[in-house]
Amino acid sequence: MSDVYEKVIDLAKRRGFIWPTSECYGAVAGFIDYGPLGAMMKRRVENIWRDFYVIGEGYYEIECPTIAEEAVFVASGHLKGFADKMCQCPHCKEYLRADHVAEGGGVRGAPTMKNEELTAAIASCRCLACGKVLGKIEVFNFNLMFRTSIGPGSQRTGYLRPETAQGMFVDFSRLLRFYRDHLPFGAVQIGKSYRNEISPRQGMIRLREFTQAEAEIFVHPDEKAHPNFARYAQYTMPLLTGIQQQKNEPAVPFTMRDAVDKGLIANEYVAYYLALTHEMLLKIGIRPGRLRFRQHLPDELAHYAADCWDAEVHSDRFGWVETVGIADRTDYDLKAHAVHSGTPMTVFIQYDQPRKVQRRRIIPNMSVLGKQYRTKAKAIFEALGTAEPAAGGADIVVEGEHIHIPADLFEVRDEIIEIRGDEVIPHVIEPSYGIDRMCYAVLEQAYDEDIAEGETRTVLRLTPCVAPVQVAVFPLMNRDALDTIAQEITRSLQKKGVLAEYDDSGAIGRRYRRQDEIGTPFAITIDYQTKEDNTVTVRDRDSMKQVRIAIDQVPELISTLIDGTTQFSSL
């Protein structure tokens, strides 16, 4: 269906999944509200993510503020480099992403061009808003972070976080203690992030406020064999490697073991989370044929990353959309925060057996040095403790100043010392999920139309685990105690943690259609036979088939249908 996007968005607004925020004031691009059904579906997606990472992987969840002081983003590099290239249309005055203009005009290589090159390249392209040829323009950088002030008088500058990751990096020392100083360990976080997008025109795909689910897994830099890799070693999925992209070839299925052994994926940790992500996206309802994992090409790979892959979901409107990123970020983040904060971001790795090594150590003449250097003497003593002696003396750096200490101001001793371990800066494996993009992909791929009883039926074929309403309960008639029995069944389901919706409004066929349209997978109907034999009908949304079961079996059966341990076709 070529117009599936419009149909999905129309249904989403009409039935309470999503709608524009502050609509009564005209709304603002890049912001959405999740309605009653959308908010519930989103929570279910988030909780499935938690099932994989918190329950399955054992990584505890933390929650950090969405505002952080400026120093955090100086260290992370966001303040300097987190920008998009922008231009303004001279005709309609609309601000535009320069790389999007280039893409629309068939200009290749825009992300790697300098501003001056891109200015010349897109001058003949058309404005994405008004359609006119741009002509004379200027491309400039626009930082995507929202700036704010912390406290009165603008004494401290803060920024709304553009990702949840930095909170977990700056909490590294606390997390290390929590995990009893052992690698590997991980922390996860689900929360809001903010990016002041230049011209968001893609609905839920590009938002200024969005929800991220990220895991930061801290591993030994020299030990990237995942301890549970056997779980996914033979897991097969299509990979679009950098080599295949350069040859313009399609994705090819690989087992994770083969992909690592052939050097297509950097290490077992990256491969493990590629497979886990594939499994999870299928669970929430993404179709295998509309999902691929694409490796970053050399010119788009971040300078600090050893490897990076995007899980891309195909949209009828937007094409392949990056939905999840899995990267080996090496030690870049921890090193940067250690330098800027002055706080060590290392882990002490103890050897199985202590090692004895020979070392030359400088013993300073403290009385002479103290008189000569006075206030700097203490810092000089400490610096000499780790300096390498040379024939003419020793060179050290104190408070940014290079100082030469003559050889007659210290003596050198050769000694054997016992080393019990090393201080290492961990590397970080980061799977980062865009929850809003996942929710949109679920809605688009679930949308369907078929013919039921001679009429077009609109149905959301949501998997039971993400459907906002899990079962509907209908009394055939709102009398003769059928409604009372239906309400009792509804309560019994609610006690089992099932979101059951009681509905006695309108003809039974119309009620079925309402629930089909919002994706409710199962419906229970109480009719006059119920009063005779204590049975009800259970209807499957997708096949529209029904089975009759005893009332006392309803709560357990519906629970197992929702969690997937029972298939309706087996009843």
CA distance linking residue 157 with residue 146, whole number of Å:
11
In a domain, 361, yes or no: yes
User: Do residue 215 and residue 290 come from a single domain?
Assistant: yes
Does residue 35 or residue 360 have the better pLDDT?
Answer: 35
Residue 374 has pLDDT above 60, yes or no: yes
User: Do residue 410 and residue 512 come from a single domain?
Assistant: no
In a domain, 212, yes or no: yes
Whichever domain contains 245, its CATH number is: 3.30.930.10
User: Do residue 174 and residue 38 come from a single domain?
Assistant: yes
pLDDT at residue 1, rounded to an integer:
43
End-to-end alpha-carbon separation of the chain, Å? 33
User: Do residue 251 and residue 358 come from a single domain?
Assistant: no
In a domain, 510, yes or no: yes
Q: Which of 413, 435, 457 is the last residue of a domain?
A: 435
User: Do residue 278 and residue 202 come from a single domain?
Assistant: yes
* Sign of the torsion angle spanned by Cα atoms 500, 504, 508, 512: negative
In a domain, 126, yes or no: no
User: Do residue 182 and residue 303 come from a single domain?
Assistant: yes
Q: Which of 410, 435, 460 is the last residue of a domain?
A: 435
pLDDT at residue 154, rounded to an integer:
65
In a domain, 296, yes or no: yes
- Torsion, Cα 139 140 141 143, to 10 degrees, reads -110
Domain hosting residue 46, numbered range: 4-82+144-332+429-435
User: Do residue 237 and residue 378 come from a single domain?
Assistant: no
User: Confidence class of residue 241 from pLDDT cuts 50, 70 and 90?
Assistant: very high
Q: Which region among 85-89, 261-265, 343-347, 364-368 has the lowest average model confidence (pLDDT)?
A: 364-368
pLDDT at residue 395, rounded to an integer:
85
Whichever domain contains 558, its CATH number is: 3.40.50.800
Picking from 156, 149, 160, 147, the residue whose alpha carbon sits closest to that of residue 68 is 160
User: Confidence class of residue 440 from pLDDT cuts 50, 70 and 90?
Assistant: very high
* pLDDT tens digits along 1-37: 458 999 999 999 999 999 999 999 988 999 999 999 9
CA distance linking residue 477 with residue 496, whole number of Å:
26
* Average predicted confidence (pLDDT) for the chain: 93
In a domain, 31, yes or no: yes
In a domain, 286, yes or no: yes
pLDDT at residue 415, rounded to an integer:
80
pLDDT at residue 2, rounded to an integer:
52
Q: Which two tokens stand for residue 194?
A: 């903010």
Q: Which region among 54-58, 288-292, 392-396 has the lowest average model confidence (pLDDT)?
A: 392-396
Pairing of strands 236-240, 291-295: parallel
User: Do residue 418 and residue 487 come from a single domain?
Assistant: no
Residue 240 has pLDDT above 90, yes or no: yes
Number of domains in the chain: 3
User: Do residue 178 and residue 277 come from a single domain?
Assistant: yes
User: Do residue 31 and residue 177 come from a single domain?
Assistant: yes
User: Do residue 230 and residue 313 come from a single domain?
Assistant: yes
User: Do residue 388 and residue 325 come from a single domain?
Assistant: no
Q: What pTM did the predictor assign? A: 0.87
In a domain, 391, yes or no: yes
